[in-house]
Structure 1
Amino acid sequence: MANVENLSSVPASEDTEFGFKRPEMYSADIANSINSYGRHVFVFYKTPEAWLSQIEDEGLPQRFATLLKDRKSDLPVPTKLNVCEGGGSDGDVLIFPDMVRYKGIKDEEVEVESFVEDVLVNEKPWRFGREEKLSGSFVFVCTHASRDKRCGVCGPVILERFKEEIGSRGLSEQISLRRCSHVGQHKYSGNIIIFSPDSSGKIFGNWYGYVTPEDVPELLDQQIAKGEIIQRIWRGQMGLPGGVPEREHGQAVIPSGNSVADKSTGGGCCQGSNGSVSCCQNENSKPEPIKKEVRKCTIWFQPLDKEEIYIGAAVVGAVATVAMIAFTIYKRSG
């Protein structure tokens, strides 16, 4: 295992205020803390060191942000926009869950308009470019320091741990790792987003917060390798309702298509072959009792099977018949 201390160049004072030892770490329940959306667009643009605090206020990101806002009602699904480091490929665009890449989109109004119209509104290939299919998994780490110092402190350390683990495991061809712009809720730093396929090849975009370098091996082993959500640091998933966490027996709602890796709970959810999810319950077992609170009294209702209803009715009828016969004999003997 990597020596985390050697990976971090964060001074102790900054680590306490902006890093992994700050008091706000793990202070909030972050499950389902993202808004519901169905598509994510990443625009390659410069480097994080050159990004403005509001990166959508300049250049190509601004054109995309303006058009997505103007065409919001025309989009088939709610769409998020982020910027990621260009690395010499400024103007390239990645789209998830479509798993496609378009190269070299110019910072020109007409060109961006045609791209948004064709690809994001009409969901067709861009008439002026060729899409490239993507494969493998994609990890985006928020390192937008000019927007919030917490991301500037935590993000690079997490990124370095990912680089080390991916390299030592020989996964460089299977996992793409990039720095990205603000993803929302800096107080949850480190923030990362992982787009990876499940066993059937369907792409899921899972968000994680309060991530530390120590979480990186588990994210590789569980989320990427097995498609298992790590619930303690999970923020939500692309395609799921967001906002206030829905609850079931005190646990955050877990999306279908993923199983759960969380040793703190007494069980988990497993995906069936047809995509259904079964949570700690045999499919052939009877329904669990429905608990209903009535003032201070607790009443339990157990749904009955049709056969049980018939048997019960027959027993009641037999008892009534016996009672009538006994009463008749009693009258005659009197």
Structure 2
Amino acid sequence: MHFSSKSRNSLSFSRFESDKKPSLTRQMAEVENMNSVPASEDTEYGFKRPEMYSTNIANSITSYGRHVFVLYKTPEAWPSHVEEQGLPQRFATLLNDRKSDLLVQTKLNVCEGGGSDGDVLLFPDMIRYKGVKDTDVEGFVEDVLVNGKASSSGSQEDISGTFVFVCTHTSRDKRCGVCGPVILERFQKEIGSRGLSDQITLKRCSHVGQHKYAGNLIIFSPDSVGKITGNWYGYVTPDDVPELLDQHIAKGEIIQRIWRGQMGLSEAEAEKMITNGNKEESKGFTGGCCKGTKGVSCCQEETPKPEPIKKEGRKCTIWFQPLDKEEFYIGAAVVGAIATIAMAYTFFRRSG
């Protein structure tokens, strides 16, 4: 993914769910029925809430290299911590137990099943594993996520095209529940009017972290050279959807003002992308985070703190935090004042 204006010649996608995918009319009807939040709540939970655009969100996701989506029921049936029940719980537990063995840092989310509960989507691998059962998860994690091999249980198929996951996890945070369905509806209308319904797959997904950035979404799509990237966006509104389709999906260009980060990038690489895109320097970020079973989480951590610097001696270990600029100046002023008093006192004694 890049920041230039170079566009791809064409969009090359394929249908993801042929027989099981509902018609566009039916999808829109489902979203409209779901989107029954009173307009008065828009200022508290929706796009008019005061916190919108209050924080620079660039580079606000932790570095990771793989994303697992488990198809499981619908958002209406998800509890606040959907990773604590059924198949998602099995995945969360094993990913936590084997986290030191995983090939790359891996995130886990749940997305709506749509009649395909138990299927698993893997990005950037672009593979769909069908009908994974509770008893298959241990072998799946061992084969696919630890050893990088094909799963020994269940069938699999390659997938292609663009996948858009919109957070609509209202039982976790109402901001996601208010903003997500409206964004999803706009996507469906734009996709339908552009004739892209066979080329882009839309899915409602569980909480992705940082509630305050709602609307939150993740787009997995080929960049200008065909590499699959997973880009996170926050503070998304329905008015941003046409630009996401025209600029990000069609041209492979980042929309900087609402960009949170990209799967596969280190912090340094993400900062370089921001700099190259003339993005203003990040001033940090704040916000809540969810914690899943045994600490496994798909969420971005809260405000990052400086890593303590470890100094080792022969028999002891000292941990300290580096002083910031203000603390340094205050300390220097105090030391200077003490030195001045000491010199004055010495002079007074000598002269007396």
* TM superposition score normalised by structure 2: 0.67
8 A Cα contact 1:24 1:187, kept in partner: yes
Cα offset, 1:128, TM superposition: 1.5
Alignment of 1:125-140 (within 5 A): 125-140=150-165
| 1:203 aligned residue (228, 232, 252) | 228
Paired residue for 1:329?
none
Alignment of 1:1-334 (within 5 A): 9-108=36-135, 111-242=136-267, 246=271, 252-253=274-275
By relative contact order (CA 8 Å, sep 6+), the higher-ranking structure is: 2
Q: Distance in 2 between matches of 1:234 and 1:57?
A: 29
Cα offset, 1:172, TM superposition: 1.0
Cα offset, 1:106, TM superposition: 1.1
Q: What is the Cα-based RMSD across aligned positions, in Å?
A: 2.0
Cα offset, 1:240, TM superposition: 1.1
Residue 70 of structure 2: SS of its match in structure 1?
strand
Cα offset, 1:137, TM superposition: 0.3
Residue 167 of structure 1: SS of its match in structure 2?
helix
Q: Distance in 2 between matches of 1:147 and 1:220?
A: 28
- Structure 2 CA distance for partners of 1:130 and 1:193, relative to 1, 3 Å: same
Residue 100 of structure 2: SS of its match in structure 1?
helix
Aligned length: 247
Q: Distance in 1 between matches of 2:275 and 2:162?
A: 24
Which structure's residues are more often strand, by fraction? Answer: 1
Aligned AA (1:20):
F
Structure 2 residues without counterparts, runs of 5 or longer = 1-31, 281-352
Task: Choose 1 or 2 for highest CA Rg.
Answer: 1
Q: Distance in 1 between matches of 2:118 and 2:38?
A: 36
After superposition, the C-alpha distances for 1:287-310 in whole angstroms (9 at most, x for unaligned) are xxxxxxxxxxxxxxxxxxxxxxxx
After superposition, the C-alpha distances for 1:53-96 in whole angstroms (9 at most, x for unaligned) are 01111000000000001000000100000000001100000000
Residue 228 of structure 1: SS of its match in structure 2?
coil
Aligned AA (1:96):
F
Structure 1 residues without counterparts, runs of 5 or longer = 1-6, 255-259, 266-334
Cα offset, 1:198, TM superposition: 1.6
